[in-house]
Copies of this chain bind each other. A is one copy, B any other.
Amino acid sequence: MAGNIFGRNLTLTTFGESHGKAIGGILDGLPAGLGIDFDFINGELARRRPGQSKLVSSRNEPDQVEFLSGLKDGISLGTPIAFMVRNKDFRPEDYKSIENTYRPSHADYTWDAKYGIRDASGGGRSSARETLSRVVGGAIAKLFLNKVGITMTAFVNRIGSIYLQEEYSCYDLNSTENSEVRCPDNKTSEKMISLITETGEKGDTLGGEITCIIKNLPPGLGEPVFNKLNADLGHAILGINAVKGFDIGSGFKSSEMYGSELNDEFYFADGRIRTKTNNSGGIQGGISNGEDIYFRAAFKPVASIMLDQETVDKSGQKSIINPKGRHDVCVVPRAVPIVEAMAALVLADHLIQNSSSKLENFL
């Protein structure tokens, strides 16, 4: 199976090259009877859109999503929901220079190695534009999750050397969207903006980190052994362009700690079993325990820098590259809704999966 189908129970199959006719997808396996809030979906797309501020690329993408099937009067039918967005803002001439030249740390060379053919224009299918389909699918998954009370929110906790010093619980996550860089702390946000501006002036680029928090997940989601909830979240997030790292709960820091520091003691309150601390990040043995899930994704800097770089062309001849296309200095703020979308798809998939874990569900 090629890699364009995501999920096992709720599947998102996506298509589209950056400068092809359209991009889109098919969401299959959504239960029938869900009301689809199109404004919400459009809002999610707007969050992902380039050109939201002066900090990001100015490509004018209206990203008007058209739903082609699976709905009747805005209610899900239980049949596949297909959607697409027409690509409008082609400037293929921008990419002519790189058709035969491999941009450093881009996917140009590896796609040629794999397929022997490549749609260079706009990065083809390796373009970040592909994530638009994920945001649409993820938005619908969110609507489903919201029906059972599950919510999720992500924010930027680092850009380059600037990062949030405290745990997520110290910030008002409702303020995230007020920040141009989607960082819930005002001062950090301003420093990040300054860093992005300076870096852009040098023609360079920046990476960063995103933290995502999932609340109100019932205990019991996640398939032990290979498809642990953390493993499936990792798979989803590491499949986003430019993500180089993923950790969950106390994550990489766990490896430096003692068991006695890290263990989450149980207690009973408000009619349910809780943990006093949450180093586990809401997942134990691959299964949700009802506490907040929180995880972190590390994004490398955008590969397209406005500086001379050495490379080779298809024939192996040395070449100097200095891209002239439209490029972001830092895409991490725009990746926030993408991270949420992928997490939503994973959780919805596991919510469906878990409905058959016990015989009593069938009686």
Instruction: Decide if A207 touches B255 in the complex (CB within 8 Å).
Output: yes
- Tell me which residues across on chain B come within 8 A of A106, comparing CB atoms: 284-285
Choose among B4, B17, B219 the residue that contacts A226 (Cβ–Cβ < 8 A): B4
Instruction: Decide if A114 touches B16 in the complex (CB within 8 Å).
Output: no
Cα A301 to Cα B245 in complex, Å, equals 20
**Interface segment, one of A47-55, A74-82, A177-185:** A74-82
**Interface segment, one of A38-46, A164-172, A265-273:** A265-273
Please list 27 pairs of residues, one from A and one from B, whose beta carbons are closer than 8 Å in the complex, sorted by A's number.
A4-B80, A20-B68, A22-B68, A31-B358, A77-B115, A77-B118, A78-B114, A84-B84, A104-B263, A104-B275, A148-B363, A158-B256, A160-B258, A204-B258, A205-B260, A231-B235, A233-B238, A239-B286, A244-B250, A246-B246, A254-B299, A257-B301, A260-B307, A263-B305, A268-B316, A279-B300, A355-B355
Given A266-B311, A312-B266, CB of A32 within 8 Å of CB of B115: yes
Q: How many of chain A's residues have a CB under 8 angstroms from any CB in B?
A: 161
Instruction: Decide if B206 touches A225 in the complex (CB within 8 Å).
Output: no
- Tell me which residues across on chain B come within 8 A of A304, comparing CB atoms: 259
Instruction: Decide if B266 touches A23 in the complex (CB within 8 Å).
Output: no
CB-contacts of A90-105 with B (<8 A): 102, 104-105
Contact with B along A325-353 (1 / 0, CB 8 A): 00000000000000000000000000111
Q: Smallest CB–CB gap between A303 and chain B, Å?
A: 6
Residue A194, interface by CB 8 Å: no
